[in-house]
Amino acid sequence: MGMGKPVFLFVLTTVVAVTAASATGSAGQTPQPTADGSQQLAELGVCKLTSGQEIENCRLGYRVWGKLNGQRSNAVLFPTWFSGTSANLADSIGANGLVDPAKYFVIAVDALGDGVSSSPSNSATQHGPDFPALTIQDMVNSEHRLVTETLHLTHLHAVMGISMGGIQSFEWMVDYPSFMDEAIPIVGSPRPDSRDLLLYRTDMDAVKSDPGWKDGRYTQSPPAPLAQLIWQMNLTSPANFARTHAPAVFDEEYAKWRGDGILPFDANDWLAQLDAVVHLDVAHGGSMEVAAGRVKAKVLIVSSAQDHMVNPEPALDFARLIGARTLVLKSDCGHVATGCEAGTLNPAVRAFLDGQ
């Protein structure tokens, strides 16, 4: 599930730089943000969470490419994966990527807890373990505020994402069913199954077992090497791992994974995002049938048949409930099949965005 720098095993497609558009719309309309993919921050004030707690001085990072059309109907929201940032999404945006900024106004958004948006690591008043627990629903609610309050949009053409970004896409289509025309969750899930939970909770325990964690009140983030090794074991299938990591160099690779661990990602941020995934349930305690009945968007659900990080079955079950189109990636690359099979995935997603 994690695809940020510590576990990012592949490069997707080359980003296409798009120059910033001039301000659009009628008099008094808020100008478009800088549309060259540069990092921007939206100040949201207080973010109220589903738990009843609040994030103080809440901010959300984002980057945009392309420009809005005259009808303001071509915006595509692209949330980040676990341990990833909006900078990591740049390689997926381009003429040959998942979404073409020559056609769409692409909004890559940093999910809460990623170290750019409000997170345990960067909060001055709720630092470390004092940061309130996050849910995927909280991430999506903050993104809705970004889109409506900062970017002044009332509708999206699509929401799409990979891994935890795909998980957020499931949450979006259930919580804000009329807000987008299309949703494209890629190697995500509407609810973790027991095997997923075994993996995620074990990884959380691995972080907490690092002597440097100190109940989250450290001055320097611990590397948590066991957490990184668990991730490496599950990103691909056993056959793929054996084929792509030669025994002759494995000792060197293993030493690097142990040495770097999850760094530079902060341990408390890692735990905050992973805890949100552990508690994922787009049905919010109810039935998946009722949750599925809320969906109004046209949906393409992409899964990987040999995914050891996010079991594909819950997503495919949800696809059957809503009559969604599906694309099942067949390679042994597992969770990172999105990179291995970019030649299949990227054109399919672009065509779906274009209504084909």
**Residue 192 C-beta-side C-alpha neighbours within 13 Å:** 22
**Count of structural domains within the chain:** 2
Q: How confident is the model at residue 35 (pLDDT cuts 50, 70, 90)?
A: confident
Summarize the confidence of residues 334-354 as an average pLDDT. Answer: 97
DSSP string, 330-344: -STTGGGHHHHTHHH
Q: How confident is the model at residue 21 (pLDDT cuts 50, 70, 90)?
A: very low
CB 206 within 8 A of CB 198: no
pLDDT tens-digit map of 169-224: 999 999 999 999 999 999 999 999 999 999 999 999 999 999 999 999 999 999 99
- Amino acid at position 143, single letter: E
The pLDDT, as a whole number, for residue 36 is 86
Summarize the confidence of residues 16-34 as an average pLDDT. Answer: 38
Angstrom distance (rounded) from CA 146 to CA 251: 45
Residues present in the chain in total? 356
Residue/partner pairs of 209-214 with CB below 8 Å, 24 or more apart: 210/261, 210/267, 213/267
- The parent domain of residue 126 ranges over 33-191+281-353
Cα–Cα nearest to 93, from 65, 60, 61: 65
235 in the same domain as 86: no
160 in the same domain as 286: yes
The pLDDT, as a whole number, for residue 34 is 66
Query: Domain containing 110 — which CATH number?
Result: 3.40.50.1820
Token pair, residue 76, equals 């595509």
Name the domain boundary from 274, 308, 336: 274
> Is residue 22 pLDDT above 50, yes or no?
no
Neighbours of 39 (CB within 10 A): 14
Q: What are phi and psi of 236, to 5 degrees?
A: -125, 180
257 in the same domain as 161: no
Token pair, residue 102, equals 């020559």
> Is residue 119 pLDDT above 60, yes or no?
yes
User: Is residue 287, in this structure, part of any structural domain at all?
Assistant: yes
For 8, 47, 132, 261, the CA distances from 51, given in Å and listed in that order, are: 32, 11, 9, 31
164 in the same domain as 307: yes
Angstrom distance (rounded) from CA 76 to CA 155: 10
CB 132 within 8 A of CB 53: yes
> Is residue 15 pLDDT above 90, yes or no?
no
Token pair, residue 207, equals 């972080």
**Residue 71 C-beta-side C-alpha neighbours within 13 Å:** 7
User: Is residue 181, in this structure, part of any structural domain at all?
Assistant: yes
